[in-house]
Amino acid sequence: MAKQSREDRRRRQMDRIRFFARYAGIGMEMFVTLMVMAYLGHYLDGRFHLEKPYLTVLFALIGLGAVLFRIVKLLGKP
């Protein structure tokens, strides 16, 4: 009986680790996607000599949309 409870504790601990890793991965994916898209927009603004950061804002919004789509897709899975 003690062996089973030890296995149950280990299983619960592994479930918690998987849960944390899943959501930490989502957070890192969000951060990297938004930073890459914002940097790409910033680079293109400089490349095309735009006075205002139109492309930075546009690419950041596209990145945000992609991140939100990915989150909804991931959270829909069990």
pTM: 0.78
Each residue's pLDDT tens digit, 21-41: 888 888 899 999 999 999 999
Is the pLDDT reported for residue 77 higher than 60?
Answer: yes
Is the pLDDT reported for residue 2 higher than 60?
Answer: no
Burial class, 41, CB count within 10 angstroms (exposed 0-12 / middle 13-18 / buried 19+) = buried
CA atoms within 13 A on the CB side of 49: 0
pLDDT value of residue 23: 83
Containing structural domain, residue 27: 2-75
Average pLDDT, whole number, for the chain? Answer: 91
The domain total for the chain is 1
Residue count of the chain, please give it. 78
